[in-house]
Amino acid sequence: MSKSLLIVESPTKARTLERYLGKDFIVKASVGHIKDLPGNKLGVNLDREFKPQYQVMRGKKKIIDDLKKAASRADTIYLGPDPDREGEAIAWHIAEEIGATEKPVKRVLFYELTRKAIMEAIAKPNELDAKLYEAQQARRILDRLVGYMISPLLWEKVRAGLSAGRVQSVALRLICEREDEIYAFEKQEYWTIDARLSPLPDAPVTGGVDSLAAAERAHAPAEPPSAFSAQLIRFKKKKCEIASQDEAEKHVRALGAAAFRVSTVEKKQRQKNPSPPFITSTLQQEAARKFHYSAKQTMSIAQKLYEGIEIGDEGAVGLITYMRTDSTRLSQDSTQAVREFIANRWGDKYLPAKPVAYKSKETAQGAHEAIRPTDVGHTPESVVKYLSREQANLYSLIWKRFVACQMAPALINQTTVDISAADYLLRATGSVIVFQGFLTLYEEGHDEPENGKSDERLPDLSEGQPLDLLGIEPKQHFTQPPPRYTEATLIKTLEDLGIGRPSTYATIISTILEREYVLRLKQRLMPTELGMIINRLVSANFPDIVDTKFTANMEKDLDEVEHGGRRFNNLLSDFYGPFLKSLESARTGMANFKGAGWPTELQCPRCSKPLTIRLSRSNGAFLACSGYPECSYTSDYERDEKGRIQPVEAKEPEATGEVCEKCGKPMALKRGRFGTFLACTGYPACRNTRAPSTGIRCPREGCGGELVVRTGRRGRFYGCNKYPECKMIFQGEPVHESCPLCNAPVLFRKGSKTGSSTLFCINPSCKFTKKEEREEEQAKNG
């Protein structure tokens, strides 16, 4: 009996497809990419129109041999990696390695792993898309040129092992510029005045109210149920801006002697519409807001939900559509199904007259849909017992956002009351939700706290109505500097600037974090000293690389290659000429950090020569005298709120938000001879210390401990925090992913001098390895 061969990239995806396709298909997995540029050389022929020199990746020969054997027994070969540029590259490389054959080789695109979608994809296969493959190849070569050519300069001028990337450098620049804005910010004092009022429907207006008596009444046990607050907004018909306490008190005295009367009452009903269904960037942003998931963690969880989860008797089920998309389009079938679900659960009043359509960006991939559940009947409560906590959180978020996007708007009655008092005008606002609509299910989170006073329920007021002054409260405020980026706000900024694509955001952020150019501190991204140094050097010597408009235009050029409007080698040629000139200039012009350090305006306290910033591999940046070796003065340093360098003899601890389990005082991050550690701020009364945790459980069965960072004489390693009871240690960096081959709970990452890294399984009998991309290409299969 003849059989067809289907090759996908993920073993989990293969198992899900096997369930639907049955005996007529052999389904195999490539386990991600099988070919890549070499790790020990540039791998791009600059004299032959940038022809790449791909090699079979380490550990993939056995997989390729198995695929060839299966192909020899099949009548038709279907290639089904993910429906994007990366997936197309995997499909092309598989086709090349299988070799020339008379058997038909078809490309199938699975946007969701349901029986209907799978059968439709198999019934209507495509040809391999050369334009899509060339767009991926162009991005890969661009990133290789930048990374492979700038990184050696950084090794020579700054420190071995450093690297620069094309898009990551732009993200780093944004974070560093935000830090500069915070340093430059000058806070301004300002005051607001709130009056606590109550209607007097029957009382005549008798003039002023003693402010002291009013304040006493404000603190009385029983406040009238009709009391409400109004804020001062105008004085003598001009915006009231109060800069000092003296000014505030002057206005309080005047208001205390004034008669308050309702000037105008404006009532109107407004609609609050639901948010569009998720695309990659908005899913990453909302998961960061609501669960504090990193972009990388969100994509890892979503990949598993897409590829298939064992759901009781149903077997492996793909719960969501493909999660790398910038399209808000919804299929007609899914829209019809969710409308029926809404009507059945909440009734027709929650259902708009017709399906709600959302406009996608012009650059959105038309064939893709938004991220949605594959079956609205798989409610979060019906599948939660089959999911991990993280999977349940993300699936519930996706399900609720999808259902809510097709529900009726919320209706809100909003009232604005202007109140006159002598030369003053105050305003009170209140809003009441009169119809929940989609809010009965879901409301989008916010990146920053909402400013101003929350709306309150206002009493029924009429124009000309006199009001009783219950109290006046002046409040001091200070303007705040722009906040540091969170992952959510950085992704939104990159997207708004046209930088990056759905497949790249997670890798951009994880790269700058892993290279320790940026720290995540209380969910905020803060540049390290190393990050600021790298940003200064790259910005000064390669201005185009960190220019947001240049990078955004490069994204558009890559899109043109994908759509056939431009050849990939022409794009590379246009980039390489100017880049080569910048590279040659930087070889002689880039500051030599190794030799002279980074200059500062400080003088050595011993010999008065200038102090410079130097880098230590183990302890980071420090101050050193430029007169070395004659003067050996060194000092740790910190930056004040203006970014000015302040020498400190002992490095101050960094706050972590963690609490000492022995005495309850805050734990701080400190640096010692062998690296960082957490120490109790109650020292010397409490001498508790512990290693920083990775948040990943120890893989030893029954242990229950967590893996922590440790540093010894031979460098950094990872061990269990239950040592000496548990003596598990690992040289690689633990990654919160399970092995796709043997389901071992943890994978580990090892890096190379070229900046690339490889994931490998903890299980010694499992041979799983996966090379991770150096720049923007996301790792496949979670």
- Give the active site residues: 322
Query: What are the beta bridge partners of residue 427?
Result: 231, 418
- The DSSP call for residue 642 is T
Name the nearest CA neighbour of 485 among 476, 495, 475, 473: 495
Inter-residue contact 86 to 504 (CB < 8 Å): no
Name the nearest CA neighbour of 772 among 754, 760, 756: 756
DSSP 273-303: PPPPPB-HHHHHHHHHHHH---HHHHHHHHH
Inter-residue contact 759 to 748 (CB < 8 Å): yes
Query: What are the beta bridge partners of residue 611?
Result: 625
> Can you tell me the distance from the alpha carbon of 262 to that of 252, in angstroms, rounded to the nearest whole number?
19
Inter-residue contact 33 to 10 (CB < 8 Å): no
Inter-residue contact 362 to 329 (CB < 8 Å): no
Q: Peptide bond preceding 629: is omega within 30 degrees of 0, i.e. cis?
A: yes
State phi, psi for 55 to the nearest 5 degrees: -130, 150
State phi, psi for 373 to the nearest 5 degrees: -70, 145
Degrees to nearest 5, angle at CA 229 with 224 and 235: 135
Name the nearest CA neighbour of 271 among 48, 392, 437: 437
Q: Who's near 120: CB < 8 A, 6+ residues apart?
A: none
Q: Between the CA of residue 685 and those of 286, 445, 666, 679, 688, what are the distances in Å?
A: 42, 42, 13, 12, 9
Helix, strand or coil, per DSSP, at residue 772:
strand
Inter-residue contact 612 to 585 (CB < 8 Å): no
CB atoms within 10 A of CB 629: 6
Exposed/middle/buried for 519, CB within 10 Å: 0-12, 13-18, 19+? middle
Give the burial string for 26-37 (b: 16+ CB within 10 Å, else e).
bbbbbbbbbbbb
| First-last CA distance in the chain | 35
Question: Which tokens is 255 given?
Answer: 């208001």
Q: What is the 3-state secondary structure (H, E, C) of 591-613?
A: CCHHHHCEEEEEECCCCCCEEEE
Strand (E) or helix (H) holding 535: helix 529-541
Q: Among positive and negative, which fits the CA dihedral 326, 327, 330, 331?
A: negative
